[in-house]
Copies of this chain bind each other. A is one copy, B any other.
């Protein structure tokens, strides 16, 4: 069901009931952008770094559509009742004091992507439901209360308050002003005012209605009327301002009578109207509050961005540090499950070829999986692949298939325990034993060795002894780095910026030989600097924040200085063009002049199985010099090779185990373990249900 400003009030009780009845709830968001390109996300970000980068990269974008799909187990019918809501969100203006006229960012490629999916921007901008985060709400409320108190005081001693704060009363009623009125200096204004006075006289004589709504006029003329009319008709009328809900034009309304009882009644009316306006301004935030308060299992697919946008837009600004973010999320949504992570973990890792939502869901409807029996919401018929493609990336639809995928995975897990009777998900607690290994772990994209953020505890700290931090001249390309490391075999490159990257060795045993690279070229001065990942992290005192927040950019000059410092000898500038020997100077010079606007930066995509598509999400380049897009694609390939092929190229480092919330409880079920082995021979010699160090 599409929910807009038009039907929101009407649908809200249905939404509330659906949330209250739900066994679990799936969510998904659509955004106006994914990355402003401030930082490059790398394969070796620490979880803190990654959070900080995403936090900065996504600032100012808007969540424009919120999909919510509630799944409620019906014991009688033995199936799930599903309700899907597709909320259009837009920070619609309000005449309330304290409601901001928001400035938000859009990323061309994201709008492009949404357009291609058939997203209706006209509907969103015209009919989107507004929102306030909690601070804003309390600001607006206190301003409103203050205004109401002032108005009340103004009634008690109209002369006193009104002079000192004439503005605060004008929206409702203007008690007679004691100060000198605005001088009317021109004939037009005089004529206009006289005309209105005649109108009011007729209105008072005719006695056919209680109020006279004047034609809209500009604020100067309104001010004149506010001052003039009570003087001309003392104790006979009240003068109010009113905003037309359709046209947003301001009208003056003349109300017959000025008795205490009329004033009280008008005040009552005004308060009711104001409370309604406040509720309208809070808008969609109410739904998120309900979602938070219900404390139910919230399921999403690749949901880190959904969480970030949802909390920032409807709850509060985000803290800069990961630990605070974790506390915040635990407080707002204490029970989360990410189906992309679930699908990437055992036993599903070996049964699924992809964790892209659409394809994963299709796969989860085939053997050995058994889709749950669900009442498909009206417009979503997943029977055909066409329907799925049509609806994919509509937030509610994505939430819906996230739920069906989740149920299929739960069914599969329970089949190990008791093949005859599937575990129905009736509530969060009912499936806690099955899903606990996946709870509050959020999929982390493009990380080589940290598959998830652990919201409820410490994050994994895999060994990065085979990872190195390299600084080099900005003219260097991937090929220069590969050439440099060629004695040690294949490498994966993860660009930090134009003059620094992480390099991971495929052959970890070669790590001890990296230092020799620095010496191997001793005849020539050293153009680069290599430090181990651990040294790098230790160096950058408070980690990422100190190093990256300054957008350190090397100029030719400081590249030079740096190299001088580390090698102890000066080098001519021409040498700094490229490391690679044997490369013709001409072609190198050419390439070192690649225009500044080319892209090395990459931002997050929701589906990472096809990185060609991810090109559309490249961030606005901010670096002084950048490598070509093609080089980017190449780097992406290398960074994500495991995800793409589902085959770990790194040898597992057995020294690391997952500490909190590990899958021991599932492992302890030996029959389960055996079932699993017999069903899926390809994993028979791999340890089951253990979080791998490589993903």
Contact = CB atoms under 8 A, between A and B. Distances in A.
Contacts of A595: 97-98, 139-140, 142-143
A353 B188 contact: yes
Interface in A615-648: 615-621, 628-631, 633-634, 636-637, 640-641, 644-647
Interface string A131-147: 00000100110110010
A673 interface: no
Interface stretch (A101-109, A307-315, A319-327, A460-468): A101-109
Interface in A448-499: 477-479, 482-483, 486, 490
A93 B109 contact: yes
Contacts of A644: 218-221
B122 A108 contact: no
Interface in A69-122: 90-93, 95, 97-109, 111-112, 114-115, 120-122
Assembly stoichiometry (copies): 2
B583 A186 contact: no
Contacts of A165: 477, 479, 587, 591
Given A122-B121, A219-B636, A102 B93 contact: no
A218 B628 contact: no
Contact of A630 (B167, B594, B629): B167
A289 to B, nearest CB: 19
Interface residues of A, number: 118
A597 B100 contact: yes
A537 interface: no
Contacts of A590: 146, 149-150
Contact of A97 (B37, B482, B616, B628): B628
Nearest to A590: B146
A414 interface: no
Contacts of A566: none
Contact of A641 (B220, B249, B597, B619): B220
A108 B112 contact: no
Interface string A30-42: 0011001100000
A436 interface: no
Contacts of A125: 111-112, 114-115, 121
B140 A597 contact: yes
A195 interface: no
A103 B219 contact: no
B218 A598 contact: no
A194 to B, nearest CB: 15
A482 B166 CA distance: 11
A179 interface: yes
A447 interface: no
Contacts of A216: 610, 612
Contacts of A109: 93, 101
Interface in A238-261: 248-250
A529 B633 CA distance: 61
A153 interface: yes
10 contacts: A36-B103, A100-B621, A101-B108, A102-B620, A112-B125, A115-B122, A121-B121, A121-B122, A150-B591, A219-B633
Given A168-B591, A219-B634, 10 more contacts: A36-B103, A93-B112, A98-B595, A98-B597, A101-B618, A149-B590, A150-B590, A164-B582, A186-B647, A249-B610
Q: What 8 pairs across the A-B complex have the smallest Cβ distances?
A: A139-B595, A186-B647, A167-B630, A250-B612, A121-B121, A218-B610, A98-B597, A219-B611
